[in-house]
């Protein structure tokens, strides 16, 4: 019988034991669903919370710095330490994981929401006001759409980051791919579930990022418009030439 | 906003003792200004930086609130209307245009009609009418602002301002950011537009030549919002009210007067007999006197024929003819 470390044999000692995958497909599927649910819920809550915080920070500018500082502080705390802090208070399980995960999304979401709104050109805002848009209308139909690319970028980063962090939440008893990885780690050198868990979380991160990117593209058609053919000659074709007759040669190349 | 109701005496815009001061500054930006803008005229506000001309403009549509004084538009105190309603009746064009990057050109132009609740048919027809009016290629309507050149964007800006047919149009250095050739064309187009529409236009510019070219009346301001002189360009050039105005107008005042006149403004009696010309070169009816002078100075004989609208020779022009006309 061949030694189990031979390249041809595929068993528990191999890098990926395919049979284990097919035997435990249910467990893998459940882990996927759990992981996805926790990720999406985290980002959803994070976006709502960040929107509230950003609104406060924009409306009352003096709060912007403390808010950004506080959310940055949460981000700096290592996740294991944060879980360690929360578990005695909230217990093991979903609530703890959610609180920590949402906390981690805040700094990027708040920062990008504020940056997005601040990034709207002042001349566009002035024109909107001068046209007679009420401040409410100006926010919803001008500022928010123009801030969207920056905000979406923040959501994408937060989502991908959350996918990774959910794995760690296995430490507090939450499933997802983290459970698979834990599974392998706890059974010395059983690499298959670790590889599967890690690989699938990468795939999930990529898929979600791609979906969000596609959504962003769909919501911002103007970003794609280029400077193709301006046809400046045609624009004057149907206008009659003005009455003034041959003028002296306009200075060529004069400075603007 | 209603249009003027028939009494010719009511100015389109009246500024009554309008003052604007900012906290922390001793001198006001605008000091007790009284100014009337007659209906259907283009009034230019000119002056050096810090003279308050843009502040004055922005007080008309209340982007800046006056510290004291009243602004009446068609006899109605602007302060009595909700701001957004006031602004929907006033067109506004700025130097950087400020088109909405996330909306198509069509939607940009239709902004105010949309706010006023016009139906789709009416809006569509109006947008197309405006394209014709401002000289915009209709194929650009479905594009986004980033696809257009600076000159095209500025045309869209004017179309957008005129969309709901407001009686008043405010323009803040609209042509400063485009190159001189495009600027000249846009200015000519504005003159055409004004002949067709007779809007009341207030235009802020730092360029005295632009003011003289475009305006029916020019208001020259000094630093601190002091009105130095308010008169039609020709009067300004003939009789500057102060040294400041003289300096601001520049040294070639008489030549500037010539730019505003064409050979068509010369009466037949002022011209020399046509026989002197024989079959020499001639100037068309639309040529400005300034260009005519330039042509005469460069000509061999010092005589040039003058044509009427049909192309027949009316008479002959010389440098003396021009000089006599100015006197």
Residue A142 lies in a domain: yes
Residue A3 lies in a domain: no
Per-residue confidence (pLDDT) for residue A182, from 0 to 100: 76
Residue A43 lies in a domain: yes
Per-residue confidence (pLDDT) for residue A230, from 0 to 100: 44
Per-residue confidence (pLDDT) for residue A240, from 0 to 100: 39
Contact B46, B221 (CB under 8 A): yes
- The CATH number that applies at residue A117 is 1.10.3720.10
Count of the separate structural domains present in chain A: 1
Q: How far is A135 from chain B (nearest CA, A)?
A: 9
The per-residue pLDDT for range B241-265, each reduced to its tens digit, is 999 999 888 888 888 888 788 888 8
Give the count of beta carbons closer than 10 Å to the beta carbon of residue A208.
Answer: 20
Contact B169, B161 (CB under 8 A): yes
The per-residue pLDDT for range A98-123, each reduced to its tens digit, is 888 899 999 999 999 999 999 999 99
User: Which of B55, B118, B137 is most worth mutating to test chain A (most A CB atoms within 10 A of its CB)?
Assistant: B137
Residue A116 lies in a domain: yes
Residue A174 lies in a domain: yes
Query: For chain B, how many residues are written?
Result: 327
Looking at chain A, which residue has its C-alpha nearest residue B166? A131
For the ranges B19-23, B220-224, B266-270, the lowest mean pLDDT is seen at B266-270
Per-residue pLDDT band for A10 (boundaries 50, 70, 90) equals confident
Average pLDDT, chain A: 80
- Give mean pLDDT, residues A159-184: 79
Taking CB atoms and an 8 Å cutoff, what residues of chain A touch B97?
A: 123, 127
Residue A11 lies in a domain: no
Choice between B36 and B311, residue whose per-residue pLDDT is larger: B36
| Residue B201 per-residue DSSP state | E
Q: What whole-number distance in Å separates Cα of residue B315 and Cα of residue B233?
A: 28
Q: How far is B92 from chain A (nearest CA, A)?
A: 6
| Contact A124/B at CB under 8 A | yes
Per-residue pLDDT band for B278 (boundaries 50, 70, 90) equals low
Tokens 């669903």 correspond to: A33
Give yes or no for residue B176 having a pLDDT over 80.
yes
Residue A64 lies in a domain: yes
Domain span at residue A74 reads 18-223+232-240
Q: Which of B102, B139, B151 minimises the CB distance to A222?
A: B102
Average pLDDT, chain B: 88
Own/partner pairs, B21-29, CB within 8 angstroms, 24+ separation: B21/B67, B27/B224, B28/B67, B28/B224, B28/B225, B29/B55, B29/B224, B29/B225
Structure tokens at A125: 């805002």
This model of the complex carries an ipTM of: 0.82
Calculate the CA A237 to chain-centre distance: 48
Predicted TM-score (pTM) of this structure: 0.78
- Give mean pLDDT, residues B27-53: 91
- Give mean pLDDT, residues B16-39: 90
Residue A50 lies in a domain: yes
Give yes or no for residue A238 having a pLDDT over 50.
no
């Amino acid at each position: 019988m061949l030694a189990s470390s031979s390249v041809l044999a595929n068993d528990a000692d191999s890098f990926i034991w395919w049979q284990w995958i097919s035997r435990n497909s249910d467990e893998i599927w459940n882990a996927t669903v759990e992981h996805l649910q926790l990720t999406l819920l985290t980002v959803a809550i994070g976006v709502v919370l960040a929107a509230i915080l950003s609104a406060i920070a924009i409306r009352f500018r003096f709060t912007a710095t403390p808010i950004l500082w506080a959310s940055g502080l949460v981000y700096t705390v290592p996740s294991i330490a944060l879980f360690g802090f929360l578990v005695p208070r909230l217990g093991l399980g979903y609530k703890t994981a959610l609180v920590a995960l949402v906390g981690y999304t805040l700094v990027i979401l708040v920062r990008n929401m504020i940056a997005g709104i601040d990034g709207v050109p002042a001349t566009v805002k002035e024109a909107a006001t001068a046209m007679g848009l009420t401040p409410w209308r100006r926010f919803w139909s001008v500022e928010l759409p123009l801030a969207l690319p920056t905000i979406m970028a923040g959501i994408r980063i937060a989502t991908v980051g959350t996918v990774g962090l959910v794995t760690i939440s296995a430490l507090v008893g939450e499933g997802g791919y983290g459970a698979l990885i834990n599974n392998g780690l706890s059974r010395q050198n059983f690499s298959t579930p670790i590889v599967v868990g890690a690989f699938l979380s990468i795939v999930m991160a990529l898929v979600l990022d791609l979906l969000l990117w596609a959504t962003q593209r769909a919501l911002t058609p103007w970003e794609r418009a280029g400077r193709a053919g301006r046809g400046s000659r045609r624009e004057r074709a149907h206008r009659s030439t003005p009455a003034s007759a041959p003028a002296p040669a306009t200075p060529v190349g004069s400075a603007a | 906003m209603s249009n003027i109701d028939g009494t010719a005496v009511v100015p389109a815009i009246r500024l009554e003792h309008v003052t604007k001061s900012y906290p922390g500054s001793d001198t006001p930006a605008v000091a007790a200004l009284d100014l009337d803008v007659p209906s259907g005229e283009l009034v230019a506000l000119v002056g050096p930086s810090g003279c308050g001309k843009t502040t004055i403009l922005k007080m008309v549509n209340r982007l800046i609130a006056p510290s004291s004084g009243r602004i009446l538009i068609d006899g109605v105190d602007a302060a009595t209307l909700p701001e957004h309603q006031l602004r929907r009746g006033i067109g506004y064009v700025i130097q950087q245009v400020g088109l909405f990057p996330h909306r198509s050109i069509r939607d940009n132009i239709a902004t105010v009609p949309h706010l006023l609740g016009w139906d789709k048919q009416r809006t569509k027809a109006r947008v197309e009418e405006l394209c014709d009016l401002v000289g915009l290629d209709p194929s650009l309507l479905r594009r986004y602002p980033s696809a257009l050149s600076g000159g095209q964007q500025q045309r869209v800006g004017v179309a957008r301002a005129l969309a709901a047919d407001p009686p008043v149009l405010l323009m803040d250095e609209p042509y400063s950011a485009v190159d001189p050739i495009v600027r000249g064309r846009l200015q000519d187009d504005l003159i055409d537009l004004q002949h067709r529409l007779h809007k009341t236009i207030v235009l802020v510019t730092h360029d005295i030549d632009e003011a003289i070219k475009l305006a029916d009346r020019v208001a020259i301001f000094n630093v601190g919002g002091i009105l130095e002189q308010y008169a039609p360009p020709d009067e300004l050039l003939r009789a500057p009210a102060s040294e400041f105005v003289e300096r601001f107008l520049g040294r070639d005042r008489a030549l500037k007067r010539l730019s505003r006149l064409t050979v068509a403004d010369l009466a037949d009696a002022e011209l020399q007999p046509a026989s002197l010309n024989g079959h020499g070169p001639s100037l068309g009816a639309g040529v400005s006197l300034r260009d005519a002078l330039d042509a005469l100075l460069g000509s061999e004989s010092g005589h040039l024929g003058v044509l009427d609208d049909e192309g027949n020779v009316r008479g002959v022009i010389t440098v003396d003819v021009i000089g006599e006309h100015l006197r």
